Structure 1
Amino acid sequence: MSRQVLRTGPTRQAAEQSLQRALQTRGLPAGAGLITPETKIEALAKLWYEQLDDLSPSTMEAYKTRLRRNVLPAFGNVRIREVSVGLVDRHLMAVRRNHGPSAARQTRNVLSGMFRLAARHDAMRSNPCRDVARIPSRPLHQPRSLEADEIRSLLAGLRQSEWANAYDLPDLVSFLAATGARIGEACAIAWEDVDFEAATVHLHGTVLRLPGEGLIISRPKSPSSNRIIEIPSWCVRMLRERRKRALGDLRELQSSIHAVFPAPRGKDLRDPSNTRMAMRTAFRQLGVLEVTSHTFRKSVATLMDQAGKSARDAADQLGHAHPSLTLDVYMGRKKRSTGAAAVLEQLDSGSA
C-alpha cells in the first residue's frame, strides 16, 4: 500500500487544514474497491439496491420508488465525501414537508442503508443518518375519520350510483369499512381466505404492479400484516351474496381460489391504483371530496377507540407492527378477537 504524504504548509493553521482534507478523502486506495469517497451517490445506490435480498417485492418496489423520486434527483451527482449530516437532514425535512412523514422515513431508511454500505467500504467515517433530526410521525395533514352514520350514508349512496356499480365499488368499499384493510390487501383476498362459519378473513398478501411483470400478489412487508381478523355479520352477509352471484352453486366454492374482488371487467387481479381513481370519482359524485381508501382504516381505528378497545387491538386489526417484543410473543399477532367485528356492527345499512 502506498503511503500518503501530507503537505504541512508554513503555518499551523495550514497544517491542520491539510490534515483535515486528508482525513476527509482517506478511504480505499485507488482501484481497491467499487466504493470510495469519490464514488457518486448514483453509483452507490445501484450497488446497494443490487445487493438487497430476502425482501418482499412490495418493499423492493417501494425502495426503487424512493430512489427515483427522493434520492437520485437530489443526491445523484453528489460524491460520498461531500455528504454531511446537515445535507441529509435538510433533504429529509424537505421530503416530509412536500410528501409527508412516511415518505421521509422511507427515504431515510434508503439513505441509511446506502451509507452503511459505504461505511463498510471505508468510504465514509460514519453513517450521517444516525445524527439527523427525528422525523415526527404525525402527518402534516391528518386523514379524515368518518362517523358511523357518515359511513352508512356513503355506502348507501354507492349502491345507488351507476358509476360505482359499473366499477364494482359498493361491495369493495363495504369490505374496507368492515375491516380497515388496505386496498391492496382487499384486492388480494381469495374465496379460500374467507371463513364464513367463523366470520373471519385471512389477510396475507397485497396486489402490487411491478414494471415488466404486471399485477402480482406480494407477501406482506411485515409479519404483523399477515393476520386473521373477525368481520361483522353484515359483511358476512354481503360476502355470501357476492359469492352466490359469482359462482351460483355453493358446492363449487370448496375448491374455489379466485379473487373475491377481481377486476370489474374480468376475473384478473384488480389494480389498486386504478381502483383508487375510480373511488375518488365515485366519492366526488356523491359530494364527498376528502374521503380516500385510507379514510376507512382511520375510521375503523377511531370507532374502536371510541368503543374502548385498546391500541394493541387496533394494531392487530389494521396489521400495524408493535414495538414491544413482549406483546408480540405473549399475545400473538394473528389473534382473531380484536373486538372490531362487534364495534363495526353499527355500520350495517341493510345491504343484504
Structure 2
Amino acid sequence: MQRRETSLPLAPNHAAKFIPVCDSRNRRVPGLHQRNGRFYAQLWVERGDGRKTARRFALFNGDGLAVKNLAEAKEAVEIKRSERRQNALPSLGRKPTFDDYCDTYFANKIIQRKRPATLLSERMALARWREHFGQVRVDRITPALIGSHTERRLGGGIFCGNLRQPVAARTANLDLIILRNVLKLAREQGLLRELPRTKFLEEEPPPKRTLLSPGQFDGILELVTTACPKNAVQFADYLRFLAFTGAREKEALRIRWEDVDFEHAIVTIGADGLSKNGKARDVEFNPHLAALLREMDARRAPDCSWLFPSPQRGPRDVHAKRFRESLKLVRARAGLPGLGFHDFRHYFCSACVMAGIDFMTISLWLGHSDGGVLVGSVYGHLLDHHRADMAARLTIGNKQKNSG
C-alpha cells in the first residue's frame, strides 16, 4: 500500500507553538515548522552586526496564497534559501499597513514632484484601494485581493461612500498602475521582495476619430455666439488658440502674457513646467496665430496676467479653470457629440501636414520628443492624399492632343 506524505498533526496544547514538521517516515524536514496549520521556514540570517539569528518566514505559493501541503512547503523553503543566498529576503520587522504606507508614499519628496493633477488622481484612486485593503499589510497584498477590487470597479458599486458606475478596462488599468506605483516604492524601501503579480485587462482600441474639416471648424466658431452668449468672445479665442498652436486643454489655460513674445513672434507653452513632459516649447507665430494674439492683446484685461483670465476672479489674478460646459453647448448645436478639446490639437496637426511642414517641426510644436515618428504614423496618410492631389494637378509641357 502506498504511503501518503503528511505532516504531523498539531497537539491541542501546542496550538500556538512552532512544531517541527516530519515526513511520512517521521523524519524531520530541515528548516520547516508548522503553527496553527500554517507552514513556516526557519533560517539563520545575518543580523547586520556580524552575528546571525534564526528567523521564521511564512510560506506562500506562486499565487501569493499560503502553502497547503508538505510538497508545496518543501519547494517554498528552497525558494527562501535561494533568496537568502541572493540577499533578497524581506527586511526584519512587521510591515506597515497599506493604509498607513500611502501616507508615507505621498510624503516622499520624489513623489511630491509630480504634477498636482497627477497627485490628485493618485489620491482619488488610492482612497479606493485603502478602503478595499483595510488594515492589510503591504507584504500581504495578494493577486486575489487586487483582482477582487478590479472586479468591483468593472461592476460598479459603492466606493468611499459614493455610488460609482462601472468603469472601462482602461480606467481599471489606471487604478492598477497607481497601485503599482505605491508598491514599487515599498519594494525600493525594502518592505517588499517582489511585487504581487497583477493582470492588466485587455483594452478596446480607441475609436478612430474623424478629423475636423475647415468648414466644421468655421461652423463651430459661428455657433459660439448663440450657444455661449456669456463668454462667447473668450471661448472663441480659446478654441482658435488651440487650433492655431496645437496646445493641450490645460496648457492653454496656464499661458501668461509674459509667455507671448511679439518681438520674436513666439509663444512659449509649458513655461510653468506643468506640460505633459515637463518641458517648455516654443511655437512660432503663423499668420492666424499672430492675428489672434494681437486681437486679444488689444482687449486684454489690464489687471490680469493670463491669456484666459477667470470670469469669476474678482480681485484675484487667476486663470480660467475650464471651458467644458461651453464646449458641451457648442457641440450639441453643431451635432458633434464626440467633439473634445483634443480634436483642435489634431486639427492643427493635420493642417500642418497638409501644408507640407516637415514632421520634425510639427513634433517640436506639439511637444513630442520622438522626432516626428508619432506624427508620421498618425497623420502620414494625409500627406499621401495631399501629394496625390497635387500630382493630379501637375501639367508638364503642352497638353497632349487627342490622337483620335
Q: What TM-score do you get using the length of structure 1 for normalisation?
A: 0.65
1:98-113 superposed matches below 5 A = 98-99=167-168, 101=170, 103=171, 106-113=174-181
Among 322, 327, 331, the residue aligned to 1:279? 327
Structure 1 partner of 2:115: 56
**How big is the shift at 1:298?**
3.0
Structure 1 partner of 2:287: 233
From the CA coordinates, give the structure whose radius of gyration is larger. 2
Distance 1:93 1:316, change over 3 A: farther
**How big is the shift at 1:88?**
4.5
Query: Please, which runs of 5 or more residues in structure 1 have no aligned partner?
Result: 206-216, 249-255, 329-342, 344-352
Distance 1:134 1:245, change over 3 A: same
**How big is the shift at 1:85?**
4.6
Cα distance per residue 1:65-112 (max 9 Å; x no partner): 33235x3354455443443356547867987992564x5565344322
**How big is the shift at 1:239?**
1.5
Structure 2 partner of 1:119: 187
Q: Name the % identity.
A: 22
Task: Quote the Cα distance in structure 2 between the aligned partners of 1:117 and 1:315.
Answer: 33
**How big is the shift at 1:178?**
1.2
Structure 2 partner of 1:292: 340
2:281 maps to a residue whose letter is R
Q: How many residues align?
A: 292
Distance 1:11 1:46, change over 3 A: farther
**How big is the shift at 1:120?**
3.8
Task: Quote the Cα distance in structure 2 between the aligned partners of 1:134 and 1:231.
Answer: 43
1:1-352 superposed matches below 5 A = 7-8=20-21, 11=24, 18-19=39-40, 22-24=58-60, 27-30=90-93, 36=95, 39-51=96-108, 52-68=111-127, 71-85=129-143, 88=146, 98-99=167-168, 101=170, 103=171, 106-128=174-196, 132-133=199-200, 140-159=206-225, 161-163=227-229, 165-166=231-232, 168-205=234-271, 219-224=274-279, 226-246=280-300, 258-266=305-313, 268-273=317-322, 275-305=323-353, 312-322=360-370
2:311/2:320 contact within 8 Å kept: no
Distance 1:307 1:76, change over 3 A: farther
Higher relative strand content: 2
Cα distance per residue 1:165-214 (max 9 Å; x no partner): 45721111111111221222111111121123443210125xxxxxxxxx
**How big is the shift at 1:244?**
0.9
Task: Quote the Cα distance in structure 1 between the aligned partners of 2:148 and 2:342.
Answer: 29
**Helix, strand or coil: the match of 2:192?**
coil
Distance 1:243 1:93, change over 3 A: farther
Query: Please, which runs of 5 or more residues in structure 2 have no aligned partner?
Result: 1-16, 42-56, 61-65, 67-88, 155-165, 373-385, 387-404
**Helix, strand or coil: the match of 1:272?**
coil
**How big is the shift at 1:10?**
5.3
Task: Quote the Cα distance in structure 2 between the aligned partners of 1:92 and 1:179.
Answer: 39
2:186 maps to a residue whose letter is A
**How big is the shift at 1:299?**
2.8
2:241/2:289 contact within 8 Å kept: yes
Task: Quote the Cα distance in structure 1 between the aligned partners of 2:18 and 2:234.
Answer: 73
Structure 1 partner of 2:398: none
**How big is the shift at 1:222?**
2.6
Task: Quote the Cα distance in structure 2 between the aligned partners of 1:27 and 1:162.
Answer: 60
Q: CA RMSD in A?
A: 4.1
1:116/1:127 contact within 8 Å kept: yes
Cα distance per residue 1:259-293 (max 9 Å; x no partner): 111113557423434x2122212332343322121
Task: Quote the Cα distance in structure 2 between the aligned partners of 1:305 and 1:265.
Answer: 39
Structure scoring higher RCO (CA < 8 A, sep ≥ 6) equals: 1
Cα distance per residue 1:106-161 (max 9 Å; x no partner): 534432232123324544320236x645876x754455531222112212322454
Task: Quote the Cα distance in structure 2 between the aligned partners of 1:123 and 1:184.
Answer: 37
**Helix, strand or coil: the match of 2:39?**
helix
